[in-house]
A and B are shown apart, each in its own frame.
Chain A
Amino acid sequence: MTWLIMGSVVAGVALGYWVIPEVFIIHLDNLTTAALCVLLLGVGIDLGQQKEAWVRLWKMGWRVLLVPIMVGLGSLVGSVIVGLAMGMPVNEASAIGAGFGWYSLSGVLLAKIYSVELGALAFITNVARELMAILLIPVIAKYVGKYSAVAPGGATTMDTTLPIISKSTDADTAVVAFINGSVLSAFVPILVPLLIRL
């Protein structure tokens, strides 16, 4: 899946550089809007079908929600602080941070509703976050804490980084990670467009 996503971007770059005339790319706007709507409808159906995650959340108690709240808050604060240090506007830095590691969705959302440059930066930033998560989860689980090991993965803790968390921690933390990923994933398509308009 990761290779398919990367391959699509690389193929697109090659097509844009060598094959497709720029005039044609500009006129793709209606088609990309339709594709985005289809994608978001699919994301919504996917989230709506995940009743299991909400049942698990109910069983574990409301305090477990503190994990996605802190991960979300930390992602936004960290991105804004680093962004400001690099001279980036708050809305751009926070919208990138609100991708929570979901690079494909945050990248295409920002490319469509704001600018292709920021979409590309969101894509690379969130790819970097996932790679960092893969490397850091076992280390954080060992030296910092089990719940803290859930933090680097962001929204990816319900799929791609879940096996690593499960292996590095225990069954309870894996459930918390799944809930964390589900909650943050639900907020990516809401927060990214909201924050970019600040």
Chain B
Amino acid sequence: MTLILVFLIAGFLIGHFKLIPVSYKLTQRVMLFGLIFLLMVMGAQLGANEKVLADFGHMGLQAVALAAGGVTFSVLLVKMVEGFIKKAQGESQNASELTGGNEKVGEDN
């Protein structure tokens, strides 16, 4: 956990403050290489584990159920606050339009 956070925060600081002149392309390539390697190792560990391979169908069903649960509750919770966000955005838009209008009046004068 500590190792994960250290590398993540170090990366964020490097990217945010441009501490090392790394190009976007290079970052993407390094990430892709690391990702492919880790995915292949995960695959190899799965392939070598006959118990997991035999259980793959059951795992698929579990995965669909977990994904459906996450999606359903996400939609429900966002729906609960959707009206509030839209109303607040409408109010701030009206306020900025009003302020903009006053400035124009001032400019005309």
Chain A contact surface mostly: helix
Q: State whether the Cβ of A190 lies closer than 8 Å to any Cβ in chain B.
A: yes
Q: State whether the Cβ of A174 lies closer than 8 Å to any Cβ in chain B.
A: no
Question: What is the 8 Å Cβ interface bit string for chain A, positions 9-36, against chain B (1 contact, 0 not)?
Answer: 1111111111010100100100111011
Complexed CA–CA distance, A146 and B78 (Å)? 10
Q: State whether the Cβ of A182 lies closer than 8 Å to any Cβ in chain B.
A: no
- Collect the chain A residues with CB atoms within 8 Å of residue B105's CB: none
Chain B contact surface mostly: helix
Interface of chain A residues 136 through 173 with chain B (CB within 8 A): 136, 140, 144-148, 150-152, 154, 172
Complexed CA–CA distance, A113 and B35 (Å)? 15
Distance to closest chain A CB from B73 (angstroms): 3
Residues of B near any A CB (own CB < 8 A): 1, 3-5, 7-17, 22, 24, 27-28, 30-49, 52-53, 59-60, 62-82, 84-86, 88-89, 92
Residues of A near any B CB (own CB < 8 A): 4-5, 8-18, 20, 22, 25, 28, 31-33, 35-49, 51, 60-61, 63-64, 66-67, 70-71, 73-79, 81-83, 86, 88, 93, 96-97, 104-105, 107-109, 111-113, 116-117, 119-121, 123-129, 132-133, 136, 140, 144-148, 150-152, 154, 172, 189-190, 193-194, 197
